[in-house]
Structure formats: structure tokens, C-alpha cells
With several copies, the nearest count.
Chain A
Amino acid sequence: MSDQTSGIILSSASVRLGGTLVLDTISLHLTEARIGILGRNGSGKTTLLRVIAGLVAPVAGTVRIDGSDPFTERKAALSALGILFQNPDHQILFPTVDEELAFGLVQQGMAQPEAIARARTALEAEGRAHWIKSPVTALSQGQRHYLCLLAVLLMQPRTILLDEPLAGLDLPTQARLARRFAALPQRLVTITHDPASVARADRVIWLEGGKVAADGPPSQVIPAFTAAMARIGERDADADL
């Protein structure tokens, strides 16, 4: 694969949801190992993730992941991308841990018994073999988050998209998950409204009203973002709150 087509490429991509233009002619070529997407509530971060993952189609422009269209070429997209949604309860589809873990593998063409066996091996490797038959409702929120991560990792995607991966978790759990993320060999795209959590990324993109407001190394983007947020926070603008 040439350098021209590898990575995540958006060319003048726009997304319209329920009549409003949520992403407005975004062009990006993402190849770095650790990418952060910063922005306020409603700035279009989750929508950017969804269009990259091929969950919505752009109304204009194109999206290519390693050369293929994630919306139409689903098989290719599955091995290219995994997503960790913000809320594990929006991601978990099955009543028990083993079914949840096996599902993605079966989707990739593995037979169910083999998929279950692989899920078991993965859990054992993580020291959590006792989870295998647990109902997902018996896991705590942090544990459910972790389960979702395992399910994504099992599918061995080359890139993982994380939507506010640490929101709502307590500090020790945040620390542990952050360490786990840091150790992953995959490319990570992390969405957040908290600049601190992308301070060590290779590249940070600041979204504002569906457009790219800034794009560069964290040392450059984060101070600008923080200053802007502090400025807005001081005002008591009606429209925003």
C-alpha cells in the first residue's frame, strides 16, 4: 500500500444529520500512531468518528481507510477499524461475556465454537478466565468498559477509535485503562473534551462547529484550545447554555 492511500483519509467530507450540517467539508489525512480529537459538546466529534468508521455516509466528499470506503466495504472496514463507544451499555449486545467476545470473530468468518475458544484464551491471557460465563450485568461499569475493549482487540483492527474512553470512570480505573491504551500497538484515535487526556498524542485536531479549528502537535493546539475554552467559560452567553 502506498503512503498516498494508507491511513485515514477524509477529502472534503460533509455529514448532514436530520437536516443540519454537522461536519462541514473536512479534509484530513491521519497516519500518526496517537491522534487526539478535541472539541466542545456538539462540535461533531462523535460524528467524525462515525463517518470514519463507516457508520454514516458523508453527503459530500469521500472517506477512505487504507484505500477502501468504510461505509460500503464493511468487511475491509472491520479489519481496519474497531470502535470503543463512550458508553459500554451502548456497545454490549449480548447477555453473556463469551457471546459478546465471540460475536465479532464470528462476523469475521470464524466458526462459533472456535470463536468461543478464542474468547476464552483471550480472557485467560488477561487473568479474567472467571468472566467467561458471567452475565454482562454482573460486571461493574469499568469492567464493562474493559470487556468492550477486549471485544474490539480480539478482532485485531489496525486502528481503534475511542470515544471519550475515560468519561465517568473513577481515577484508579482511568489510570489503569490509560496504561492499557498506551501499551496497545494499534493506531489510536481518541475523542475527548478534556485536553489533558490527549497531551501525549502525536497530533491533535480541534473541532469547532463541524470544522477543523486547529490541527497540529499537542504543544501547539492544546494551549490555544484551553485559552479559548477559558475565554468562553467566563462569558455567560445565552445561546450556548
Chain B
Amino acid sequence: MLTLTSEVRIWAHRVPAAVKLALLAVTTTGLFAMSTPAPLAAALLATAALYATGGQRFALSGLRLLRPLWPFIGVVALWHLWTGDLTGGAAIVLRMVCAVAMANFVTMTTQLSDMLAVFQWLARPFQVFGMSPRGLALAVALTIRFIPVMLDRMTQISESWSARSPRRPRWRVLVPATLAALDDADRAAEALRARGGAG
């Protein structure tokens, strides 16, 4: 499956995932401690510089990942133009863009398997609730495996609907689709047990 990890490999790919995540946690906390535009703008510039070290192609794909933020920037701008609190608005926008961009940077420069390893390590306290790291790894693999299977199933179900109705099925596909998910879960459980189980 497609991940958001960048195919352009840069120096940051070699930094251990845990280090990157820890740094991200610290800097994001720092961002939320700043409330004036000037230091936030500096932070954003620094982030831009970080992207620039990856070259043009890397930086551009990073910029693309920020696209969903545009409507948000628009509404904050309008709101603050209306209330007249322009510095407050600028701080909000700068902080948000910077925080999202830094988090994306970590995502783009970390392999899925490395990220998963850190998450498994972080999930260890949950072991008391009966969630083993091995169980987590299995569940992740199963989910990734079944997303395309379920998509296929949804397509088949909507086609079965369209074959008998001129209208679109909309939410109605959810009943057979959820049923299929439940059946798949039962069969996968059996296949898992047949090869040694989740233990």
C-alpha cells in the first residue's frame, strides 16, 4: 500500500525514528508555548530550511501535504480581519502550519516498519490490558491486507445494487459490507489459528 514516506531519500531517513519522534514532541510543545508571530515565523523559516535540505522534489511534495490546511488559513484570516486581532491570527496560522509541517517531515522521512517498531515499543504499557506487541503487529498487517479486499467487496455490492436499481446505493451498501467484514474476521481468525494463532 501507498504510504506517505517520501521516495526521495534524504539524510533524515537515517536518523532513528525514536529520535525524530522525541524531537518532534519537544519542538511541538515549544511551538504551543510561543504566542507572538515573530518567534513562530522564525520556527517556520527553520522548518522550511529543513525541507530545503532534502532538495526541490522533496520540498515540493512536502508543500503538497500542506494543501488541506488552506481553507483553515482562509477562515482564520477572515475571522481575525473581522475582529481586528491580526497578530493573534498570524500566530495561529504560523503555529499550525509549522507544527503540521514538522510532523509531516518526520512522516516523510521514516520507513513504515521503523515507525511501527516505535509504536510497538510505545504500546508496551498496554500489555496489562492483554494487548501484546506481537498482537499489534499482526493487527496492523491484517488491516493493511484487508483494506483492498474490503474495497473490492464494496464495489461488488454496489454493482449488485446497480444491477437492480437505477438509483445509487449510498449507505445501503453498509449492511452487506459490515456483514462481509464480520464474516472475513471470522475466517481470518480461523486461518490465523490454523497457522499457530495470535499467541
Give A contacts to B, CB under 8 Å: 50, 53, 55, 74-75, 78, 81-83, 85, 87, 89-95, 99, 103-104, 107-108, 135-137, 151-152, 155
Contact yes or no, B162 A55, CB < 8 A: yes
Contact yes or no, B1 A135, CB < 8 A: yes
Chain A residues lying within 8 Å of B145, measured Cβ to Cβ, are 92-95, 136
10 interchain pairs, CB-CB under 8 A: A55-B162, A55-B163, A55-B190, A55-B194, A74-B166, A75-B166, A81-B163, A90-B187, A93-B192, A93-B195
A137–B149 CA distance with the chains assembled, in angstroms: 8
Of the residues A75, A78, A90, A108, contact of B191 by C-beta under 8 Å: A90
Binary CB contact string for chain B from 132 to 149 against chain A (1 if under 8 A, 0 otherwise)? 000000100110110011
A95–B195 CA distance with the chains assembled, in angstroms: 16
List 5 additional A-B contacts (Cβ < 8 Å) besides A91-B194, A92-B160, A93-B141.
A78-B165, A85-B163, A93-B160, A107-B166, A152-B164
Q: Does any Cβ of A come within 8 Å of B188's Cβ? A: yes
Q: Which residue of A lies closest to B141 (CB)?
A: A94
Instruction: Give the size category of B's interface with A.
Output: 35 or more
Chain B residues lying within 8 Å of A82, measured Cβ to Cβ, are 163-164, 194
| Min C-beta distance of B169 to chain A, whole Å | 8
| Min C-beta distance of B196 to chain A, whole Å | 3
| Min C-beta distance of B133 to chain A, whole Å | 13
A204–B25 CA distance with the chains assembled, in angstroms: 65
Contact yes or no, A85 B160, CB < 8 A: yes
Q: Which residue of B lies closest to A82 (CB)?
A: B163
Contact yes or no, B141 A95, CB < 8 A: yes
Give B contacts to A, CB under 8 Å: 1, 138, 141-142, 144-145, 148-149, 153, 156-157, 159-167, 172, 175-176, 180, 184, 187-188, 190-197
Residue in A82, A85, A108 with the greatest tally of chain B CB atoms within 10 Å: A85
Chain A residues lying within 8 Å of B149, measured Cβ to Cβ, are 89
Of the residues B1, B159, B175, B195, contact of A50 by C-beta under 8 Å: B159
Contact yes or no, A78 B142, CB < 8 A: no
A93–B180 CA distance with the chains assembled, in angstroms: 11
Q: A55-B162, A90-B153 are in contact. Are A104 and B141 (CB under 8 A)?
A: no
| Min C-beta distance of A67 to chain B, whole Å | 18
Q: A78-B196, A104-B195, A135-B1 are in contact. Are A55 and B165 (CB under 8 A)?
A: no
| Min C-beta distance of A161 to chain B, whole Å | 9
Contact yes or no, B193 A104, CB < 8 A: no
Chain A residues lying within 8 Å of B164, measured Cβ to Cβ, are 78, 82, 103-104, 107, 151-152, 155
